[in-house]
Amino acid sequence: MNELVEEKKQDRIIKPDWLKIKIPSGENYSKIKAITRDNNLHTICESGKCPNIAECWGRGTATFMILGNVCTRSCSFCAVQTGRPTHYDMDEPFRVADAIHKMGVKHAVITSVNRDELKDKGATVWADTIREVKKLNPNTTIETLIPDFKALWDLLYMVIDEKPHVVSHNMETVKRLYRIVRPQAKYERSLEQIQRTKERGARTKSGIMLGLGETPDEVYEAMDDLVAHGCEVLTLGQYLQPTKMHLEVKEYVTPDKFAHYKEEGLRRGFEIVESGARVRSSYHAEKHI
């Protein structure tokens, strides 16, 4: 028995030094935490267990997560709670706008859970949120990281037509791993969404996690597919297992490999590529306008 336990320990991949993070603290961190609590809001920084929370909140920025804190999908990489939401908060857009105003951020990033149980998939709250943020924060640029709305494209257009400055939709992984990583999503659907977003006149962005067992050729294939469907900005980051119930890390991608992927992405046609172990969708987001 002891031999089996020891063998299991040896099989685990040790997290490298470049992924070690500092404990969140400081005046700005406390301020952001207080604002989100006072406005009864969620952030993907906390709900998604983002490793950059200390850095981002320390700079006074956060990524708001609207439509509640319970997602109708059960992606095997994501730390956000899965279940059947019970609340549809029509006042949330005003509180998000107010929080952004209090924080004084120049570039606001907003994402959401999936609300597949709703007829409008949450698109009404999405559109209202963009509208209210613009009204109260006319000098703030807005980036939206949106779900796929189950391919109900009129709902997608409802959000895009409010004219956020960047419309992001993450692929998350390569084609072969979609059924494992995103069982309720479709690779082709996400590509079509990015293409439709581009055709509607919005700036397009997507992100992929590495370290789930993908091969370099599969990453290149995903890059080529994204470029072919009109994606302009790409983020590449390291997948980190949020709990023991989620997918295990298959590889900790080295900084040199991330640098290589950045070169490849630019060579294949992206305007901007952010590639690094701690890169997430909102990493350097203000530079992607």
Last residue of a domain, one of 116, 144, 168: 168
Q: Residue 20 and residue 252: Cα distance in Å, rounded? A: 12
* CA–CA–CA angle 142, 272, 186 (5° rounding): 75
* Residue 18 belongs to some domain of the structure: no
How high is the pLDDT of residue 165?
96
> Do 111 and 223 belong together in one domain?
no
Q: Residue 169 and residue 27: Cα distance in Å, rounded? A: 32
Give me 24's structure tokens.
Answer: 């969140």
> Do 252 and 128 belong together in one domain?
no
> Do 73 and 90 belong together in one domain?
yes
Range of the domain at 111: 23-168
Question: Mean pLDDT, consecutive 10-residue segments, the chain of 289 residues?
Answer: 40 72 61 74 59 55 82 87 85 92 87 94 97 96 95 98 97 96 96 98 97 98 98 96 90 97 98 93 79
How high is the pLDDT of residue 21?
64
- Per the structure, how many domains does the chain have? 2
